[in-house]
Structure 1
Amino acid sequence: MNKKILIVDDNVLITEVMSYILTSNGYDVITLNQGAAAVMKINATHPDLVIMDISMPDADGREICRIIKRNKATADLPVIICSSNDDIALTLQQDGPPNDILSKPFDMAVLLDKVGHQLAA
């Protein structure tokens, strides 16, 4: 059975590109363009990994990550936060930090490496 990845980003182009790369490499992908619905989607689909934008108009990716990591049912779910901001390193110091960070724009090989690493852990 293929690993299931949930991509949460308000930028449709980003979700389409990531989805194409990941499905081409054997992963099952679910996309969501509304951050506010992320936790509900996680509970409904039970992904193996979440890749999420840090800044969306309707939700803060850091706060969603905190919610995921504080919930006993989802605390072990790996989360990769994406951002184009240079100060993203502060996100790793937050309460309920993500498992990894992906800088935008991203390189396909880096994306696949980070995904493979998180799913192997």
Structure 2
Amino acid sequence: MKILAVDDDRDIVEVIKIILEDEGYEVSTLTSGIDVLKVVASMRPDLILLDVMLGGMDGRDICRQIKTHKLFKNIPVVMISASHNLQNLLKQPGSPNDFISKPFDIDRLVKTVKAQLVA
């Protein structure tokens, strides 16, 4: 299973990569939201982990673009944010499938990824 992790903090994407590769996933990372759609088109990930604030870009906008794109709309997107008040985000059109708060618990990350990949 292929996972794309997008966060402007290099340390966070490296931690995510290590944790999820240890679980047997193939993980690619981006530290900018600029080329997300191009990478999704070429990589065809099974899951996308996407930070809300991406150095001047809003991950929620990127999520909406993914979720409304005819080829990508079925790819699960899990938003990652330091804000703990994203529950209402899950109810809007083009919304992510789930979210994880930073700092994230390793077990919560793994459980959320597994749950989205079997859904």
Mapped to 1, the partners of 2:57 and 2:34 lie a distance apart of 5
Alignment-mate amino acid for residue 28 of structure 1 = E
Question: Where do 4+ consecutive residues of structure 1 move more than 2 Å?
Answer: none
Q: Which residue of 2 aligns with 1:30?
A: 28
Alignment-mate amino acid for residue 88 of structure 1 = L
Root-mean-square deviation (Å): 0.9
User: Which among 44, 49, 66 is matched to residue 47 of structure 2?
Assistant: 49
Mapped to 2, the partners of 1:89 and 1:117 lie a distance apart of 17
Q: TM-score, normalised by structure 1?
A: 0.95
Q: Which residue of 1 aligns with 2:86?
A: 88
Instruction: State whether residues 34 and 58 of structure 1, in contact with CA within 8 Å, keep that contact through their aligned partners in structure 2.
Output: no
Q: TM-score, normalised by structure 2?
A: 0.96
Q: Residues 97-116 of structure 1: matches in 2 within 5 Å?
A: 97-116=95-114
Aligned residue pair count:
119
SS in 2 for 1:10: coil
Higher helix share: 1
Mapped to 2, the partners of 1:65 and 1:38 lie a distance apart of 10
SS in 2 for 1:110: helix
Mapped to 1, the partners of 2:38 and 2:58 lie a distance apart of 15
Deviation at 1:89, TM superposition (A): 1.9
Structure 1: 5+ residue stretches without partners: none
Among all aligned residue pairs of Structure 1 and Structure 2, give the percentage whose two residues are the same amino acid.
41
Structure 2: 5+ residue stretches without partners: none
Instruction: State whether residues 6 and 47 of structure 1, in contact with CA within 8 Å, keep that contact through their aligned partners in structure 2.
Output: yes
